[in-house]
């Protein structure tokens, strides 16, 4: 009970004994009224409100709000397994944003995981594309000389061939690194296995001795004078051996050309039909001739007035969009040839854009030309990295 209440009761008792009537308070009960029993005790200790019943939010759900249809994903937790990465800038679920998002041997291109190499992405010189990965077939025991050519147990891949000394080497030879070698003349095993001579030396009677006198122009000293532009053992530099099945062209290991194609410079061409290399590299036909079976032939009989002979055909170069003004001058897609001048169509488009229906578009983002011209996304879809997605 509080001190104020005790003092009030003491005053009332004293007044009653003395016969003194106390002035009535508007908010006070009559003096002879019994104290109200249900009045709250003022000195009861105040207890802190319990906090244990406040549920703690699950941290695992904080970063996965319900996606809004207009914005797409905001967390990778909302993306399916086939496209597990969320692009926060576009709200689209994609396969990858970086190479680290892809598996071994794959890299990320346009938000899609692609093989390390294929027909359009060749490997560096000295390697071949095997199962989507670049392999050094000159030394890879699982892809020795060519893809999937595994060397047997106990053998090693040396210069693109499985090498094993079996059962023994011929007289005068020693087994070194899985292959038989002459210690008296092999510059990589001179006098002992693994003892290599410098490229400016040769192995003579098991000793490395000076090799090259001044080499002819265009050659280098690689255990002898060597043309680095054509040598398959020293292609582009001493010791850079080409994998088996490749050739050295202009210092680069490249696959051989299939018949009837042959290599002219760094390119395989069909010398039977190529007008710039007709029958042989560099043999070019005139503008009015065709290359037929490796020989320049054809041409036009005298054309009517106003026409020109283009590829054995009389052409009106004033109106022909494939030969506008002169033979071989092609107008851009969608353009026409008017009085020998290309008109309309696309001007040269910016890098990454394509000309579709006489206008430049970005096929990576254009919903009416998604990936290529005239591929239109469905209603509710957008074009993302050249693919229609929702």
Band (pLDDT 50/70/90 cuts) for residue 370 is very high
Contacts of 347 (CB under 8 A, 6+ apart): 332, 360
pLDDT value of position 55: 47
Rounded mean pLDDT, 79-88: 90
Confidence of residue 347 (pLDDT cuts 50, 70, 90): low
The model's pTM is: 0.31
Residue 377 clears pLDDT 90, i.e. is over it: yes
357 pLDDT exceeds 70?
Answer: yes
pLDDT, position 1: 52
Q: What is the Cα–Cα distance from 86 to 64, expressed in whole angstroms?
A: 12
The predicted pLDDT at position 213 comes to 75
Percent pLDDT > 70 in the chain is 79
pLDDT at res. 308: 86
143 forms bridges with which residues in the sheet? Answer: none
Q: How far apart are CA 159 and CA 150, in angstroms?
A: 14
Q: Alpha-carbon distance 300 to 290, whole Å?
A: 11
Q: What is the pLDDT of residue 57?
A: 45
- Domain ranges, ordered by start, for the chain: 73-115, 257-297, 300-345, 351-390
- Summarize pLDDT for 179-236 with one digit per residue, the tens: 788 999 898 899 998 888 888 888 889 999 887 778 888 888 888 888 998 898 889 8
State residue 352's pLDDT score. 84
Among 151-160, 216-225, 281-290, the minimum mean pLDDT is found in 151-160
Residue 316 has pLDDT above 90, yes or no: yes
99-141 pLDDT, tens digit per residue, is 888 876 677 888 988 887 877 778 887 788 888 888 888 888 8
What's the whole-number mean pLDDT along residues 299-306?
78
The Cα–Cα gap between 292 and 123 comes to: 35
pLDDT greater than 90 at residue 93:
yes
Q: What is the pLDDT of residue 166?
A: 61
Q: What is the pLDDT of residue 37?
A: 46
What's the pLDDT at 15? 60
pLDDT at position 14, please? 65
| Structure tokens given for 132 | 């989507």
Please give the distance of CA 226 from its chain centroid, rounded to a whole number: 37
Mean pLDDT of 172-182: 83
End-to-end CA distance of the chain: 73
Q: What pLDDT score does 140 carry? A: 86
């Amino acid at each position: 009970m509080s001190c104020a209440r005790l003092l009030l009761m003491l005053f009332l008792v004293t007044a009653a004994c003395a016969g003194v009537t106390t002035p009535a308070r508007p908010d006070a009960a009559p003096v002879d009224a019994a104290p109200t029993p249900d009045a709250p005790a003022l000195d009861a200790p105040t207890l802190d409100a319990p906090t244990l019943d406040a549920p703690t939010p699950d941290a695992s759900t904080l970063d996965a709000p319900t996606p809004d249809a207009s914005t797409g994903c905001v967390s990778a937790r909302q993306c399916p397994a086939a496209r597990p990465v969320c692009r926060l800038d576009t709200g689209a679920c994609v396969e990858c944003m970086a190479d680290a998002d892809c598996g071994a041997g794959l890299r990320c291109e346009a938000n899609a995981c692609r093989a390390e190499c294929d027909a359009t992405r060749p490997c560096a010189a000295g390697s071949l594309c095997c199962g989507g990965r670049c392999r050094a077939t000159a030394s890879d025991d699982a892809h020795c000389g060519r893809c999937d050519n595994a060397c047997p147990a106990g053998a090693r891949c040396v210069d693109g061939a499985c090498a094993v000394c079996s059962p023994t080497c011929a007289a005068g030879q020693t087994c070194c690194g899985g292959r038989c070698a002459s210690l008296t003349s092999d510059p990589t095993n001179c006098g002992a296995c693994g003892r290599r001579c410098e490229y400016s030396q040769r192995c003579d009677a098991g000793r490395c001795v000076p090799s090259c006198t001044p080499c002819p122009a265009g050659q280098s000293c690689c255990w002898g004078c060597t043309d680095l532009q054509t040598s398959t053992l020293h292609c582009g530099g001493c010791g850079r051996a080409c994998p088996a099945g490749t050739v050295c062209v202009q210092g680069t290991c490249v696959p051989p050309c299939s018949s009837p194609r042959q290599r002219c410079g760094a390119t395989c061409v069909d010398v039977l039909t190529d007008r710039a290399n007709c029958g042989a590299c560099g043999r070019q036909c005139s503008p009015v001739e065709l290359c037929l079976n490796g020989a320049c032939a054809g041409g036009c009989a005298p054309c009517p007035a106003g026409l020109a002979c283009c590829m054995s055909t009389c052409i009106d170069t004033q109106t022909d969009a494939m030969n506008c003004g002169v033979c071989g001058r092609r107008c851009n897609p969608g353009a026409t040839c008017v009085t020998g001048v290309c008109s309309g169509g696309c001007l040269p488009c910016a890098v990454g854009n394509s000309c579709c229906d006489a206008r430049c578009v970005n096929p990576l983002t254009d919903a009416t030309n998604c990936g290529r011209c005239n591929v239109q996304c469905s209603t509710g879809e957008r074009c993302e990295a050249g693919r229609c997605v929702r």
